Amino acid sequence: MRKKKWADPYIAEHTEFAVQIPNEYKGRWKQLLQTDSLHVEIGMGKGDYLHHMAVANPDTGWIGIEKDHSAAAVALRKLVESTDYDGRNERIIVGDAEQITDWFGAGEIDVIHLNYSDPWPKTYTHKRRLSSKRFLERYRLLLSADGCIRMKTDNKGLFEDSVLYFLENGFTFTEFSVDYRRNPHPEDAITEYENRFMELGQPIYQLCAKRQEAVHETAE
Ligand SMILES: C[S@@+](CC[C@H](N)C(=O)[O-])C[C@H]1O[C@@H](n2cnc3c(N)ncnc32)[C@H](O)[C@@H]1O
């Protein structure tokens, strides 16, 4: 995204929604957002999904993480300029998800959303993928006992590799689709990227992954 000069001052100004020092809320996000269910979208881009879901689910806490300051500022502006919504259950963290364990406590997150994450196709860049082993190890620590990771992507290669990453790191699937939008899912908002792929008629790959122990405990 082209750099927006207004982004950094805007983010610094809107401390009511853009959390400047997320470490301060580690272990206390649910208290801050007055909820007992916390969803975190990593790589929220311009924030359409986050904002739509926060408005539609006011009893759930929604936090978006985005490392691109210009994209994050556009997402923040949607929240600031909402006329019919007070934003009480939505926050934005501008930063690299590499630091996610500094921001959230063990077991604090109920759902992690990975929507159209960058595919990083070259082998030497795979470790930057948000579904790679390095990240899954962190998510595993942060997820609540019954927590899950929801992933959507248009990228077949990323999806196939991610399926292996999840399985190799002790996750199993409770949802799995290679044409997610063939059926209606009105409860799940469409992201900016998703909208483009749907217009092109491309299939959307989707899964929901839970820790294997969680699935076994439920079955027992
Ligand atoms: C392809 S875009 C998808 C945006 C949005 N989720 C959507 O579906 O429209 C991926 C976004 O993830 C962000 N991103 C990638 N790696 C990240 C990281 N480690 N931490 C935070 N954001 C990241 C990028 O800056 C980019 O805005």
Hey, which CATH number is domain 1-105, 3.40.50.150, 1.10.10.60, 3.40.190.10, 3.60.15.10? Answer: 3.40.50.150
pLDDT at site 213: 87
**Residue ranges per domain, the chain?**
1-105
| Interatomic CA distance for residues 30 and 38, integer angstroms | 7
The residue nearest atom 24 of ligand 1, judged by CA position, is 43
**What string of pLDDT tens digits covers the 220 residues of the chain?**
899 999 999 999 999 999 999 999 999 999 999 999 999 999 999 999 999 999 999 999 999 999 999 999 999 999 999 988 999 999 999 999 999 999 999 999 999 999 999 999 999 999 999 999 999 999 999 999 999 999 999 999 999 999 999 999 999 999 999 999 999 999 999 999 999 999 999 999 999 999 998 887 777 6
pLDDT at site 138: 98
Best mutation site among 48, 49, 130 for ligand 1, i.e. most ligand atoms within 8 A of its Cβ? Answer: 130
List the Cα angle 137/180/44 in 5-degree steps: 50
Best mutation site among 44, 196, 202, 205 for ligand 1, i.e. most ligand atoms within 8 A of its Cβ? Answer: 44
Separation of 66 CA from ligand 1 center, angstroms? Answer: 6
48 is catalytic: no
Q: Which atom of ligand 1 is nearest to the CA of 194?
A: 8
Q: How far out from the chain centre does Cα 171 lie?
A: 17
Pocket (CB within 6 angstroms of ligand 1):
42-45, 65-68, 71, 96-98, 115-118, 130, 191-194
The string of DSSP codes covering 86-143 is: --TTEEEEES-GGGHHHHS-TT-EEEEEEES-----SGGGGGGSTTSHHHHHHHHHHE
pLDDT at site 1: 84
Q: Which atom of ligand 1 is nearest to the CA of 48?
A: 9
Going from the C-alpha of 172 to that of each of 42, 159, 167, 215, the distances in angstroms are 20, 14, 6, 8
Instruction: Please tell me which residue in 59, 102, 118, 146 is annotated as part of the active site.
Output: 118
pTM of the full structure: 0.97
